[in-house]
Amino acid sequence: MMTNFTHLKTSVCILGCGPSGIVLGNIMLNNGIDCIILDKYNREEIYARGRAGVIEITTVQQLKKHHLAEPILNNAYTHGTCEFRSPEKSITFEYASLTGGDVHYVYPQSDLNDDLISMYLERGGKLLFHHEGKKIVQNDDNVEIKCDDIDAEKPVTIQADFVAGCDGYHGIARQSIPPEAVETYTKEYNYCWLAILAYAPPSAQHPLYGVHPDGFSGHMLRNSKISRYYLQISNNDTLEDWSDDRIWANLRKRLAKKGWKLNEGEIFQKRTMELRNYVMEPMRYRRLFMAGDAAHIITPMGGKGLNLAVQDAVVLAETLIRYYQENPDSSYLDRYSQIRLPYIWRAQAFSYSMLTMLHAPEGEDLEDVRFRLKLSQSKLEQLATASAFAKDFARNYVGIV
Ligand SMILES: Cc1cc2nc3c(=O)[nH]c(=O)nc-3n(C[C@H](O)[C@H](O)[C@H](O)COP(=O)(O)OP(=O)(O)OC[C@H]3O[C@@H](n4cnc5c(N)ncnc54)[C@H](O)[C@@H]3O)c2cc1C
C-alpha cells in the first residue's frame, strides 16, 4: 500500500527519459532552467529498450549546437550509400554524392540515450528512475504530475509550470488530452514487419533494401558482430509462424544477388512491429507539450522516429528557454508546434512514399499488385540516375532540412 506523500516543485517536469526527454532535460539544465525527468523504468531497463540506430546529419547538427553530439561524433561510423535489390537488378544508391557529402551516423539508440543520461547526471540533473506518471492535472497557474515511486511504494506529486510529454505513444501524456482539443491523423497497414537481431557480422557495408513479390526485406548495420533484419509479413502471422530457418530462407531469397552471401548467426531477438503513422496537431494542450513518439508515430521506414524525437526536444527546449529568459507573451509558446509540424509532415510523406515503393502492395487484386510493382520499379530506375527524384529522395533520406 502506498503511504507518505511527497511533493516536489520544478519549472519543467519531463515525463519519460527516452531520446526526447533526455535531450530536453540536458538543454534545460545547461541553460539554468530547473527541471525534473522521471521514467517508469530504471536505467538498465531504459537501455534495454533502445531500438534505433540511424541518426540523420540534421539531428547531429542540432545536438552539436547544444554540446550534446560528442557521443555520436566520437563513436559512430557513417555511411552515405545504400542498396536496393529486386529479382531483376541491384541499384547502389550513393546518396552522399547527391547531397554534397551528407551522411548518416550509425550509433545505437541505447548507447546514445545512456551517454546523454550520464552527461545529465554528471552536471547535477534531477532524474527519478522507477517513477511512473499516473495523472496530469492542469491548473490555471501550474500543472501537477501525479506519479508513483515504484521502489518506495509511495505517491509523489510534482508541481511544475509546464510538463513535457516525452513518454512515447502508449504514455499517459497523450491519454490526458481531451480528444476534442487536438486533431489526430492516423494510417494503418494490413502488413507488418518481423524485426530480427542476430549475432551475425554484416553481410554488406551499407543498408540493403529488398523489393520482392514475396514482400520487403531489409538488412541494417549495427556493429561488427550484430546485424538487424526486417521482413514484411502479414498482420495475421505470429512469431510462431516464423522459425529461424524460415527467416533465413526468406532473407536469402528476398535479398538474393549473384555472388552475394548472407552471413547467418544466432537470432537473439525476434518481434513483430506494427506499422502505423500518427500525428497530433497542435503538439500542445495548455501547459502540456508533446514531443517524440507521444506526439507522432512514423513507420520505421527511412529511420525518422528517433530523429524527429530529438529535433522536437531541441525546438521545445529553445522555445521554453526564450520564454523563461525574455518573458514574451504566452502565445510565443505556439511556435513550438508551428515550427515542428511542417518537418514532421515532410518526414511522414517521405517515409510513406519509401514504404509504398519497397513493399509488396496490400490487397488481393492481382492486377492492382502488378501495376503497383511496375510503379515501384519505375521509381527504383530513377534512383539509379541522378534524376530530380533521386536528388530529392537523397536529401529527405539523409536528413530533412
Ligand atoms: C525496431 C525499431 C527500429 C527503429 N529504428 C529507428 C531508426 O533507425 N532511426 C530512427 O530515427 N528511429 C527508429 N525507430 C524509432 C525510435 O526508436 C523512436 O521514435 C524513439 O525511441 C522515440 O523516442 P521518444 O523519446 O519519443 O520515446 P521513447 O523512446 O519511447 O521513450 C519514452 C520513455 O517514456 C517512458 N514512459 C512511458 N510511460 C511512462 C510513464 N507513465 N511514466 C514515466 N515514464 C514513462 C518509457 O519508459 C520510455 O523510457 C525505431 C523503432 C523501432 C521499434
Same domain (yes/no): 45, 57 = yes
Percent above pLDDT 90 for the chain: 85
Same domain (yes/no): 158, 94 = no
Residue 260 lies in a domain: yes
- Using most ligand atoms within 8 A of CB, pick from 275, 306, 316 the residue to mutate for ligand 1: 306
- Using most ligand atoms within 8 A of CB, pick from 36, 37, 39 the residue to mutate for ligand 1: 39
Ligand 1 atom, smallest distance to 220 CA: 8
Same domain (yes/no): 101, 115 = no
* Final residue before a domain boundary, out of 350, 372, 390: 350
First-to-last alpha carbon distance for the chain, in angstroms, is 51
- Exposure string over 364-384, b if 16+ CB within 10 A, otherwise e: eeeeeeeebbeebeebbebbe
CATH number at residue 217: 3.30.9.10
Ligand 1 atom, smallest distance to 54 CA: 8
User: Measured in angstroms, how far is the CA atom of residue 115 from the centroid of ligand 1?
Assistant: 16
Same domain (yes/no): 294, 156 = yes
Q: Ligand 1 atom 30: the closest Cα is on which residue?
A: 168
Same domain (yes/no): 112, 58 = yes
Q: How confident is the model at residue 364 (pLDDT cuts 50, 70, 90)?
A: low
User: Measured in angstroms, how far is the CA atom of residue 44 from the centroid of ligand 1?
Assistant: 15
User: Measured in angstroms, how far is the CA atom of residue 371 from the centroid of ligand 1?
Assistant: 36
Residue with cell 554540446: 67
User: Measured in angstroms, how far is the CA atom of residue 217 from the centroid of ligand 1?
Assistant: 23
Ligand 1 atom, smallest distance to 133 CA: 42
Domain count, the chain: 2
- pLDDT tens column, 164-181: 999 999 999 999 999 999
Domain with 269, as residue range(s), is 82-106+188-275+361-398
- pLDDT tens column, 130-169: 999 999 999 999 999 999 999 999 999 999 999 999 999 9
Q: Is the pLDDT of residue 77 over 80?
A: yes
Judge whether 79 and 106 are in contact, CB under 8 Å. Answer: yes
Query: Residues with Cβ < 8 Å from 363, sequence gap 6 or more?
Result: 190, 369
With 0.85 as the threshold, say if the pTM is over it. yes
Cell of 52: 534505433
Same domain (yes/no): 246, 383 = yes
Among 171, 228, 175, 186, which Cα is nearest to 18's?
Answer: 171
CATH number at residue 124: 3.50.50.60
Return the higher-pLDDT residue of 144 and 360. Answer: 144
Pocket of ligand 1 (CB under 6 A): 15-21, 38-41, 46, 51-54, 109, 132-133, 166-168, 171-172, 195, 273, 292-294, 300, 303-307, 309
Amino acid at 64: K
Ligand 1 atom, smallest distance to 20 CA: 25
Same domain (yes/no): 45, 134 = yes
Q: How confident is the model at residue 2 (pLDDT cuts 50, 70, 90)?
A: very low
The chain-wide mean pLDDT, for the chain, equals 94
User: Measured in angstroms, how far is the CA atom of residue 68 from the centroid of ligand 1?
Assistant: 19
Same domain (yes/no): 282, 299 = yes
